[in-house]
Amino acid sequence: MAAVEYREEDGILFVKFNRPEALNAINREFVRGLRNVVEYARENKSVRVIVITGEGKAFCAGADIKMFSESSHFAARNTIEELGRVLEDMEDLEVPVIAAVNGFALGGGCEVAMACDIIIASEKASFGQPEINLGIIPGAGGTQRLARLVGWKKAMELCLTGERISAEEAYRLGLVNKVVEHEKLIDEAKKLAEIIKSKSPYAVMLVKQAVNRGYKMSLKDGIMYERDLFTISFSSKDAEEGIRAFVEKRKAEFRRDRE
């Protein structure tokens, strides 16, 4: 049984963390599986949106402590470094990634969710960076992404205390986009994926670049970057089709695959 399973269905790549007996904890197989997902999305231009969830009662409860307890310092660093690289590559994918958080998203699991473009949480979900309780700190972007999402004061509190927060609290803080009934989680994620899938793939790619990369720039540089991407989008075939369809009062028919 693979630690990470995935299947493509009509342009949506459904990904499932599949170590429920270990609360989908992160081990080397997990990291390799997530790397395979990223490479599949890169190579298969039919993929328009990715939806990630977990099997069982956890999205991902963090690192496999047993594995790390048996690892040397260098081996532990290599594993967490590779996870960090995979998450950065996932952020840089041309297609949006939706995290459908079904349960615990703790430690590395919270880091995985934060690297996704949109987070939809079940009412049963919880989030946190509890590494401090083990005498360590987050190592795959937890301190950095959390501070950018909820503000550095709240991120400092959460990382220093190791406390978990509920889905509702995560929503209030701006960590998640939406909280839904547990039984409707995948349906809601799929509904959102279908909406995004109906848009211009080229424009979707440029929006993701503008938000993710521009957010790391100064406001002035980000606006200039956005303007450059706007110019690129305006000269695309999708823009030509979208504008023509609007004038002709019909639904735009964007190309299905990314270039």
Q: Given the residues 54, 62, 107, 108, select the one marked as catalytic.
A: 108
The residue from 3, 25, 61, 63 that is catalytic is 63
The one catalytic residue among 131, 140, 142, 167? 131
Mark whether 111 is an active-site residue: yes
Verify whether residue 167 is a known catalytic residue: no
Question: Quick one: three-class SS letters along the chain?
Answer: CCCEEEEEECCEEEEEECCHHHCCCECHHHHHHHHHHHHHHHHCCCCCEEEEEECCCEEECCECHHHHHCCCHHHHHHHHHHHHHHHHHHHCCCCCEEEEECCEEECHHHHHHHHCCEEEEECCCEEECHHHHHCCCCCCCHHHHHHHHHCHHHHHHHHHHCCCEEHHHHHHHCCCCEEECHHHHHHHHHHHHHHHHCCCHHHHHHHHHHHHHHCCCCHHHHHHHHHHHHHHHHCCHHHHHHHHHHHCCCCCCCCCCCC
Check 55, 91, 94, 111 and give the catalytic one: 111
Q: Is 22 considered catalytic here?
A: no
Known active-site residue 142? no
Catalytic residues: 63, 108, 111, 131
